[in-house]
Amino acid sequence: MSKIARVYIVAGEMSGDLLGASLMRALKARHPQVQFRGIGGPGMIAEGIDSRFPLETLSVMGLVEVLKHLPELIRVRRTLRADALAWQPDVMIGIDAPDFNLGLERQLREAGLTTVHYVSPTVWAWRQGRVKGIARSVDAMLTFLPFEAAFYERHRLPVAFVGHPLADELPLSNDRAGARAELGLLSSGPVLAVLPGSRANEIRFLGETFLDAAERLCRDRPALKVVIPAATPLRREALEGLLEHRPLLAEQAVLLDGQARQAMVASDAVLLASGTAALEAMLCHRSMLVGYRMAPLTHWLASRLVKTQWISLPNLIAQETLVPELIQDAVSVEAIVERMGAMLDDAEGRTAIEERFAAMHAGLQRNASARAVEAIEALVAGQPLPESVASEALERVTMVSDKRNEA
């Protein structure tokens, strides 16, 4: 095992800080004297990084905001490049933030440093030509999901599928009755979790439709309980406003502050906005219906740029339609009531999906941080990356599907 003494890490937001802190702990476990430098938040600082700028420096979203801060971002990148070259780390690791990190990684790689990118950008879904630039920027890509690694394998870019940290965090078995007790719900009777999104625009585009559908389902099923997690106080305020005009739903619903995971575990089925929540619902092994609606112009552009058959991560991982998806004009009260009503009435179908999701969960539970360290060690030592097993993982998912179909 090659000794790793210095690691330069740049994270771009709080999710990256969590990943970085876990990766740093795993590196320290195998290389106790390792030093860290770059950009990190509270988690990474607690693990010992010398953060050259506050984490918020890179937390800029939206085209207008990025343009407004562009001169500052260019200055930060130039400063980090000079700092890393002066420090001469064994490896530079960019965590997510691809628009910033891939450019920095390319500059450092051209100057002779070994570079790794942790968390694949969605190059497999749109602007696939970016893979050529990625190949010039990194010595290796570390991916969370097998279909991502398979994409890079096809483009002959060194890759390691390390598994998903969220899959490591969530247990392979969960306690529905315990989650219901924790939320003050009866252990018997159907429970629907409704997650219309964590962003204001998601509530704007999906909130009324989701809650109208939930109220219709309550009218048809007097015993149904609906749990609605609010991601933030502002989202709670918006949801409370929507519930005021839906008295029947308000009577059968429980509005939560956060606790999305407990809500999903407690539920029989989940109605949610497409995004990371769909992956979390899969890792909670729950049947779900995914909906997504956006501004008409945004949808028009996305429909021409996105090159993938599905939008929800469970379907992308399985490479088949396990989760029904309703997009844009297809998101209607009638469609949701029909699909979700059938899901709530089909206990056998829900059990089959729960078993399938548990198998997929096991395939993603690989101790991601430790796997990432193994790949980084191999790279620093000039050895081949550990097998990404992306193809093997995809085959395992397919085999599960085939066996179910045979049965």
Would 168 be classed as within a structural domain?
A: no
- Sheet strands (E) in 260-349: 269-273, 287-292, 325-327
Q: What is the dihedral of CA 254, 260, 265, 269, to 10 degrees?
A: 70
> 39 and 137 in one domain?
yes
Q: Which tops the pLDDT comparison, 29 or 231?
A: 29
Q: Which tops the pLDDT comparison, 301 or 371?
A: 371
- Mean of pLDDT over the chain: 87
> 215 and 348 in one domain?
yes
Ranking 84-93, 102-111, 294-303, 306-315 by mean pLDDT, the lowest is: 294-303
Would 169 be classed as within a structural domain?
A: no
The whole domain housing 226 covers 176-362
pTM above 0.85, yes or no: no
> 303 and 242 in one domain?
yes
Would 265 be classed as within a structural domain?
A: yes
> 188 and 115 in one domain?
no
Q: What does 229-257 look like in DSSP terms, one character per residue?
A: EESSHHHHHHHHHHHHT-HHHHHHEEEEE
Query: How large is the average pLDDT for residues 43-56?
Result: 92
> 180 and 42 in one domain?
no
Q: What angle is formed at CA 226 by the lines to CA 225 and CA 227, rounded to 5 degrees?
A: 120
Q: Burial level of 251, CB count in 10 A (0-12/13-18/19+)?
A: exposed
Query: How many domains does the structure of the chain reveal?
Result: 2
Q: Could you give the C-alpha distances from 297 to 163, 300, 304, 365, in angstroms and in order?
A: 35, 5, 11, 38
pLDDT value at 120 more than 70:
yes
Alpha-carbon distance of 210 to 184, in angstroms, equals 23
> 211 and 300 in one domain?
yes
Contact 117, 142 (CB under 8 A): yes
Would 1 be classed as within a structural domain?
A: no
> 336 and 292 in one domain?
yes
> 375 and 347 in one domain?
no
Would 397 be classed as within a structural domain?
A: no
Alpha-carbon distance of 143 to 368, in angstroms, equals 9
Would 377 be classed as within a structural domain?
A: yes
| CATH code of the domain in which 41 resides | 3.40.50.2000
- Three-state DSSP at 224 gives coil
Would 347 be classed as within a structural domain?
A: yes
pLDDT digits (tens, 9 = 90+) for 154-204: 889 999 999 999 999 999 999 999 999 999 998 788 999 999 987 777 888
Ranking 174-178, 301-305, 376-380 by mean pLDDT, the lowest is: 301-305
Q: Which amino acid is located at 84 in the chain?
A: A
Query: How large is the average pLDDT for residues 328-344?
Result: 94
Ranking 140-149, 199-208, 313-322 by mean pLDDT, the lowest is: 199-208
> 203 and 288 in one domain?
yes
Q: Which of 150, 64, 152 is nearest to 116 (CA)?
A: 152
Would 266 be classed as within a structural domain?
A: yes
What is the CB neighbour count within 10 angstroms for residue 63? 7
